[in-house]
């Protein structure tokens, strides 16, 4: 049965989508069977893996509304991961779901049919704390919070953790917070480390090491339809995501959640 990880932060541009595609590709390299779920109406994950969201007839929104089973829509990406794609119609789906009983469970129920076909399911949440993100958190075993280290980043984490606690109380008692994943990290500034130390202490949350450094290589990848694991195979960014994938998969000899101490030497 697949382990389901949601990647969530209601702030845009913190590398949620990049983390989902890169971790997915890295888990595939470890011979794990991986499904990626695009839960963002902007469909950036779908686009970045080589599909044109505007040309898709069917998408995750048909699944959330109970019209089709997920297996019919899933496609294989060039990275080797499977993808449950999104289109802009997902924005309308949000409004329809709001009027439905059990709306928070739509994704969990849809994934239940295919959960045995994968080792990992990674969910790319949209930049909001609305019903789609709550569906992602309700379907998940764990949540990873990508965080761009800048002043006030901690406020977003606090709001997200409030939502996580609501989900734990109301729809998914088993949900665990895996930790904060530092992204767009600039190790040269003390400021980045100070932000991480503050977030870690303030919310008693693990900081996952290693941080993913800011690099221009990431900006190039989405246009190619492949993740950075392929477009910049040996880059530090690709290696950082490989390291996190090994930790997630429980492969020996890797850095896991090291706390802030693990970041200090960067
Ligand atoms: P989100 O899904 O949180 O909105 P994205 O994954 O789409 O964020 O990333 C936002 C932008 O930042 C994209 O253009 C992406 O290519 C870029 N990006 C992601 N990670 C890095 C990084 N480590 N270094 C530089 N650019 C990055
Ligand atoms: Mg995104």
Best residue among 8, 11, 12, 13 to mutate for probing ligand 1, ranked by most atoms within 8 Å of CB: 13
SS3 130: coil
Query: Is the bond into 210 cis (omega within 30 degrees of 0)?
Result: yes
Quick one: pLDDT at residue 265? 41
73 lines ligand 1 (CB under 6 A): no
Instruction: Return the H-helix or E-strand segment holding 143.
Output: strand 142-148
Return the CATH class of domain 3-264.
alpha beta
Quick one: pLDDT at residue 222? 75
52 pLDDT higher than 80:
yes
Burial classification of residue 260, based on how many CB atoms lie within 10 Å of its CB (0-12 exposed, 13-18 middle, 19 or more buried): middle
Quick one: pLDDT at residue 266? 42
257 pLDDT higher than 50:
no
Over residues 107-118, the mean pLDDT reads: 97
Whole-number average pLDDT of the chain: 91
Q: Which atom of ligand 1 is nearest to the CA of 221?
A: 16
223 lines ligand 1 (CB under 6 A): no
Quick one: pLDDT at residue 96? 92
10 lines ligand 1 (CB under 6 A): no
Q: How far is CA 239 from CA 9, 31, 133, 203, in A?
A: 23, 17, 28, 28
Q: Whose CA is nearest to atom 17 of ligand 1?
A: 219
Nearest-5° angle of CA 226, CA 232, CA 237?
A: 100
Query: What digits encode the pLDDT tens for the residues 68-101?
Result: 999 999 999 998 999 999 999 999 988 899 899 9
59 lines ligand 1 (CB under 6 A): no
Over residues 201-213, the mean pLDDT reads: 94
Quick one: pLDDT at residue 258? 46
Separation between Cα atoms, residue 265 and residue 171, nearest integer Å: 39
237 lines ligand 1 (CB under 6 A): yes
- 37 and 253 Cβ atoms separated by less than 8 Å: no
Maximum alpha-carbon separation in the chain: 51
Query: What digits encode the pLDDT tens for the residues 164-205?
Result: 999 999 999 999 999 999 999 988 888 888 889 999 999 999
Q: Which residues of 228-249 are buried (b: 16+ CB within 10 A; e: fewer)?
A: bbbbbeebebbbbbbbbbbbbb
In the reported structure, the alpha carbon of residue 14 is separated from the centroid of ligand 1 by a whole-number distance in angstroms of 6
Quick one: pLDDT at residue 259? 45
Separation between Cα atoms, residue 5 and residue 27, nearest integer Å: 12
DSSP 88-114: THHHHHHHHHHTSTTGGGHHHHHHHTT
Q: Which atom of ligand 1 is nearest to the CA of 146?
A: 3
13 lines ligand 1 (CB under 6 A): yes
């Amino acid at each position: 049965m697949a382990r389901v990880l949601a990647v969530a932060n209601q702030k845009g541009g913190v590398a949620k989508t990049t983390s989902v595609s890169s971790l997915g590709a890295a888990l595939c390299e470890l011979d794990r069977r991986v499904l990626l779920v695009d839960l963002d109406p902007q469909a950036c994950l779908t686009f970045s893996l080589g599909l044109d969201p505007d040309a898709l007839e069917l998408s995750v929104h048909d699944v959330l509304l109970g019209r089709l089973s997920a297996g019919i829509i899933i496609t294989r990406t060039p990275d080797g991961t499977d993808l449950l794609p999104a289109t802009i119609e997902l924005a309308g789906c949000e409004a329809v779901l709001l009027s439905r009983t059990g709306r928070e469970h739509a994704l969990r129920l849809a994934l239940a049919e295919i959960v045995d076909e994968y080792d990992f399911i990674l969910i790319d949440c949209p930049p909001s704390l609305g019903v789609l993100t709550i569906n992602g958190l309700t379907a998940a075993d764990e949540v990873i919070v990508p965080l761009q280290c800048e002043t006030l980043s901690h406020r977003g984490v606090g709001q997200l953790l409030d939502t996580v606690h609501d989900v734990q109380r109301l729809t998914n008692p088993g949900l665990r917070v895996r930790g904060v994943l530092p992204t767009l990290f600039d190790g040269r500034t003390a400021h980045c480390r100070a932000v991480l130390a503050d977030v870690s202490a303030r919310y008693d949350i693990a900081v996952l090491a290693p941080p993913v450094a800011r690099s221009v290589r990431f900006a190039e990848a989405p246009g190619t339809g492949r993740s950075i694991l392929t477009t910049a195979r040996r880059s530090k960014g690709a290696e950082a995501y490989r390291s996190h994938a090994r930790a997630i998969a429980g492969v020996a000899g890797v850095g896991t959640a090291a706390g802030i101490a693990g970041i200090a030497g960067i």
